[in-house]
Structure formats: C-alpha cells, structure tokens
A = this chain, B = another copy of it.
Amino acid sequence: MSFKTISSQLAAQLDKDLMGPEIGFTLEQLMELAGLSVAEAVLKEFPYSKSRKSQVLVVAGPGNNGGDGLVCARHLALFGFNPVVFYPKRSSRTQFYGQLVNQLKFFQIPVLDGDDDWAQYLNPNETLCVVDAIFGFSFKPPVREPFGSILQQLRQVQDQLPIVSVDIPTGWDVDEGPVEPNCIIPKVLVSLTVPKPCARKIESLETQHYVGGRFVPRSFANKYGFEPFAYENASQVVKLAPE
C-alpha cells in the first residue's frame, strides 16, 4: 500500500493554513488531538497491562513537537501508563507551554529538566518505550546540544528500548531521511496529518508506521495532494500496511 507524502515546505504551509484566519484552528486544539493520537499509537503498539512494565519516557523538544509530547504523556497516564517527561529546554514562546507542564503536574507526572538524571529511565527492564517528541517537520540540521547527546544515548539503547518518533525521527532530514551519521532508528513512527518524505526511508527498517492527527476533511487533503487516511470508527490513528 503506497502512501502520499508532503514536503517540509508544504507541511509548514498546511499548518499555517489550519491555524490561519479562514480555518481558525487553535494550536491548543490541534496539539490536543495530535498528542492524543500519539498516545493511542503507543497503546496499540505496546498494549497496557497491569502485570507488566508501564513506564514510558517522553523526551520533549522546545517547540510544537515537544508540545505534542507533553499532551501525549498526559493521555498515556489516562490510559494507565506511568509516563515520565524529560523536557530539558522549555519553550517560552507562549504561556500555553507552561500550562501544559502544569497539567502534567496535575497528573503527578514527573517533568525532568536538563539538570535531572533522565538517563536512569533508559532501563529496558523498567521502561516500555521512549517517545521521541524532540523535533518535528521544521527541523533543520545540525542537532544542537543538549539534543545531540540525548540522541546519542537513545541510540545506544534503541535495540532494547523501542523509540516512538512523533512525526519525524529526530535528527533525520525531513525530506531526505537519515542523512546524518548515527541517526536513531525508531521502532514506531507516528506521522501527523500526512507523512513527510523521510517516512519512505523506514520501509527497509521494520519500523511500524502510523498516521495520526485526524483533523482535516477530504477537500483539504486533496488540495495538498493526498487522500484522507482510512481511520476506523473513532480511532485517532491508523496503522499503515508495509509498502
């Protein structure tokens, strides 16, 4: 089954359109639905069970991809998981990011900053998976610190501790894929709204591919050159079959 993709440039335009005066979505709305869809993909891929480990480490970057991760962590808690959030570089762009952190505290979800020992959560005996919500479709290389070191640590454990990447595997070129040496290889990719070209590079990697962010009508999808994805019932994610 083939899937359409849109370039990083078009993805930026699509986002701008959705939050522009005509359509009028707010960041809060889209982020809530995007984060929820990522949490649902985690649940589908790693079904929750009381009898097994349920800790999920969410690594959140400074921008909107990180915001999706913060929302995802909250929904993971509602699904029964024990999320821990590592948020080393916090956005001061809008007050809303602070509110997202308060919402995590409301759920008693630990939120670690750059000085905390986040690496203790990279223990595969205790942690089920890592959500990579560091950078999204507006990422331009190179990866700057502290994220370079963080990615290096994630890469060292990725064979034992599966990574779930939000929209873009962090460090990958959005259009070209894993062009830098030593890129992480996620076990799961959750493309938001529509895959970006780098998602084609997971075909040979046995990465499970989901699409989430269920919020555009057919007419809008068609305008951007893709068809709506085949979401079932009320599900906020759809798993794509391997190519």
Chain A residues near B (Cβ < 8 Å): 21-26, 28-29, 32-33, 36, 39-40, 43-44, 75, 77-79, 96, 98-100, 102-103, 106-108, 214-215, 217, 219-220, 231, 233-236
Contact = CB atoms under 8 A, between A and B. Distances in A.
B39 A234 contact: yes
Nearest to A30: B32
How many copies make up the complex?
2
A103 to B, nearest CB: 6
A233 to B, nearest CB: 6
A219 B24 contact: no
Contacts of A33: 32, 36
Nearest to A26: B28
A219 B108 CA distance: 9
A130 B17 CA distance: 31
Contacts of A23: 102-103, 106
Contact of A32 (B32, B77, B96, B231): B32
